[in-house]
Amino acid sequence: MHSYGGKYVVIEENVSIGKNVSIGHHTVIHSGTIIGDNVQIGSNAVLGCQPFQNSRVKHKVATQKPLIISDNCKIGNNTVLYAGSTLEEEIMVGDLASIRENTNVGSLSVIGRNVIVECRTKIGKRCMIQTGCYITADMVIEDDVFFGPEVSTSNDKQMGTGTRILNGPYIKKGVRIGNNATLLPNITIGENAVVGAGAVVTKDVLDSTTVIGNPAKVLKK
């Protein structure tokens, strides 16, 4: 049984929608998008759009495979989810969030309000990415990771000049990162490490270590 509900919804060709799906007003679902059972989609969402670029974008964008939204996901109002990405089961995406192409989000994770997830990034299972975080492209976040509000990550040490080799941070299992922390490119945060609020992390952090400050340093016990 399909129960969409919303007014002025646009559903393009070859969209697959499962059972018991609700869709809010003015939402657009692009061609080929796959939506599982028991999915809730808010109003003014845009799902499955293809990426685009101008002449300054050095990474050439190809046509992407369909967006996949798995069973029991909740998608907020005014979200933008690009083609080529997969949301596993029971994910919540908050209002105003955006997830770019070639991204995978693991089951039971939360992508908070106004979070930006850039392309070619992997987010593990049971992760909590809170309000206003910026998750850069070419980044890996393993399972059970917590990001407090407005954490910022980056992947380009050249800051847009010269040859661009993009390497975002690698965040291992069980890491906890406090509000407004900044993670610079090509670093690894070890398993169960803690990054304090407002820290600026410029180099690797060992497993089960707490770092604080700018630049981030190990908190002595």
Question: Which domains does the chain show, CATH number per domain?
Answer: 1-126 (2.160.10.10), 139-221 (2.160.10.10)
Question: How confident is the model at residue 3, as a pLDDT?
Answer: 64
Nearest Cα to Cα of residue 79 among 24, 152, 127, 125:
24
- The token pair at 187 is 């670093």
Question: How confident is the model at residue 58, as a pLDDT?
Answer: 66
Question: How confident is the model at residue 164, as a pLDDT?
Answer: 67
Question: How confident is the model at residue 2, as a pLDDT?
Answer: 61
* Buried-state track 180-215, b at ≥16 Cβ within 10 A, e below 16: bbbbbbbbebbeebbbbeebbbeeebeeebbbbeee
* 39 class by beta-carbon count within 10 Å (0-12 exposed, 13-18 middle, 19+ buried): buried
> What is the DSSP code string of 96-149?
T-EE-SS-EE-TT-EE-TT-EE-SS-EE-TT-EE-TT-EE-SS-EE-TT-EE-T
How many whole angstroms from its chain centre is CA 113?
A: 11
- The token pair at 5 is 């509900």
Question: How confident is the model at residue 162, as a pLDDT?
Answer: 67
Q: What is the 8-class DSSP label of residue 205? A: B
- The token pair at 19 is 């059972």
Question: How confident is the model at residue 1, as a pLDDT?
Answer: 47
Per DSSP, what are the bridge partners of residue 212?
A: 217
Q: Residues in the chain with pLDDT < 70?
A: 1-3, 56-60, 162-164
Residues 6+ apart with CB under 8 A from 65: 32, 83, 84
Q: Indicate the pTM of the whole model.
A: 0.94
